[in-house]
Amino acid sequence: MRFGFTEDQQRFRADVRKTLRSAQVRNAAAQATGADGVEPDARPLYRLLGERGLLAVHWPVEYGGQGRPLTDAAIVAEELVRAGVPDTLHVNTIQIVGQFLLMAGDAEQKRRHLPALARGESFASVLYTEPDAGSDLGALRTVAAPDGDGYRITGTKVFSLKTRFVDLGLCAARTSPDAGKYQGISLFLIDLHAPGVTVSVIPGIGDEHFHQIQLDAVHVPGENLIGARDEGWPLLNEALTIERTGLDYFLKAEHWLQAALDSLIDRDPDSPHVDHVEQIGRWKGALAADHALAWEVLTGIQADRVDPVAAAVAKYHSSELAQSIAAWAVDIPSPEQRADRTGPARILNSAYREAPGLTLSAGTSEVMLQIMAAAFDSLAHQEN
């Protein structure tokens, strides 16, 4: 369990903060931040961050990184959010797809894709969820049929963020449709600019837009198959586990609580917290627990220990906490503050609309509870 940072980590954090405080980065971050349902293109900001080497610091140098530990990448992720950088492209491209490719891809796949992702020249997203499958990925229907030395993938994926801005999709599909529910599944990298790919926006209330991705016999070269054919289920579980560190949800919750505190201070600078002291203390304590849970998962991954139960605990706690803070904080701003589209009220309004999806993405809270319950049940049987 980690209860503090080393001197090297503290120096590294200070260097990252200094870089992110530059006027060029701050201006680019402001232009990339969405509001009131308008979703700007954040890629210019990420190209700027890529030029400064901040997107994938833990990747090997040969793949565009700095060869630093995964825990240093978590420090960068924390500082990006605290500097006002919209995090979705970083989470999807670097923390999920890139990290999975680093763990499970072959040498040629890494060489071909990782450097461009690290430079902010290419972006990726996850294509798992389907209209009738939801969180039960064993029910997915997308099919990858053999086609020469590659495959033709047909199916529909939904609830993918930023997809109209990305280049690659990490897609789960059935390569042996007649196999069992959790057999015959494979993972592919799909070029989202290829013929047969149609991306459309799913109407919603959030500032970031969900998308539907229609795959109509999209040709995928055999070299884009990740791992062995039909052996995607274990890889899929590993991919979901590294997605569930809870750090990104913790950072959202921290950001939203700070916006609520800023709003309280603006309302009453002399005694801003009088009516909310107890609840703020509870939120702060829960956030401290959240941070510890996320870093326990991260340090485990750094040591090549992928613990799906610890990840489920971290994901459940952080997403539920972020949702609760958003629901509480939306009523903090005064009517006058709500009229200001540039202040904390804008952040809290956006948070209230985004928060419901946090307990669904990367596996619903119910699925996380099932993972925990199964582990406790197994432990109880071992003790008996």
**Residue 216 sits in a domain of what CATH number?**
2.40.110.10
Q: What is the pLDDT of residue 311?
A: 93
Which is nearest to 137 in space by CA: 157, 154, 163, 152? 157
The one-letter amino acid at 10:
Q
The verdict on 281 and 225 lying in the same domain is no
Q: What is the pLDDT of residue 37?
A: 63
Q: What is the pLDDT of residue 107?
A: 95
The verdict on 147 and 177 lying in the same domain is yes
Q: Is residue 236 part of a domain?
A: no
For residue 267, give both structure tokens.
């309302």
Helices (H) then strands (E): counts for the chain: 14, 8
The verdict on 279 and 378 lying in the same domain is yes
The verdict on 32 and 51 lying in the same domain is yes
For residue 36, give both structure tokens.
């009131």
- Cα 118 from chain centroid? 16
Q: What is the pLDDT of residue 101?
A: 94
Q: Is residue 2 part of a domain?
A: no
- d(C-alpha 104, C-alpha 239), whole Å: 9
**Residue 51 sits in a domain of what CATH number?**
1.10.540.10
Bridge partners of 150? 147, 221
How is residue 39 annotated by DSSP? Answer: -
- Cα 88 from chain centroid? 6
Q: Is residue 260 part of a domain?
A: yes
Residue 211, helix vs strand vs coil: strand
For 228, phi and psi rounded to 5 degrees?
-80, 150
Query: How many CA atoms does the CB half-sphere of 332 hold within 13 Å?
Result: 35
- d(C-alpha 81, C-alpha 83), whole Å: 5
The verdict on 95 and 189 lying in the same domain is no
Q: Is residue 1 part of a domain?
A: no
Tens-digit pLDDT string for the chain (384 aa): 455 788 999 999 999 999 999 999 999 998 988 766 678 899 999 999 999 999 999 999 999 999 999 999 999 999 999 998 988 999 999 999 999 999 899 999 999 999 999 999 999 999 999 997 766 778 899 999 999 999 999 999 998 888 999 999 999 999 999 888 889 999 999 999 999 999 999 988 777 888 999 999 999 999 999 999 999 999 888 888 888 899 999 999 999 999 999 998 888 777 666 778 889 999 999 999 999 999 999 988 888 888 899 999 999 999 999 999 999 999 998 888 888 767 788 889 989 999 988 998 888 899 899 999 999 888 877 776
Close Cβ partners of 93 (under 8 Å, ≥ 6 residues apart)? 46, 55, 117, 122, 123, 124, 125, 166
Close Cβ partners of 51 (under 8 Å, ≥ 6 residues apart)? 119, 120
The verdict on 130 and 98 lying in the same domain is no
Q: Which of 230, 259, 290 is the last residue of a domain?
A: 230
The verdict on 66 and 142 lying in the same domain is no
Q: Is residue 237 part of a domain?
A: no
The verdict on 289 and 369 lying in the same domain is yes
The verdict on 272 and 258 lying in the same domain is yes
The verdict on 118 and 130 lying in the same domain is no
Q: Which of 230, 257, 279 is the last residue of a domain?
A: 230
Q: Which domain holds residue 289?
A: 244-383
Which is nearest to 163 in space by CA: 97, 220, 237, 251? 97
Q: Is residue 220 part of a domain?
A: yes
Q: Is residue 377 part of a domain?
A: yes
Q: Is residue 25 part of a domain?
A: yes
The verdict on 114 and 24 lying in the same domain is yes
**Residue 271 sits in a domain of what CATH number?**
1.20.140.10
The verdict on 275 and 357 lying in the same domain is yes
Rg (Cα) of the chain, in Å, rounded?
A: 21
Q: Into how many domains does the chain fold?
A: 3
Q: Which of 204, 230, 256 is the last residue of a domain?
A: 230
Instruction: Quickly tell me which residue has 């049929």 as its tokens.
Output: 145
- d(C-alpha 34, C-alpha 26), whole Å: 15
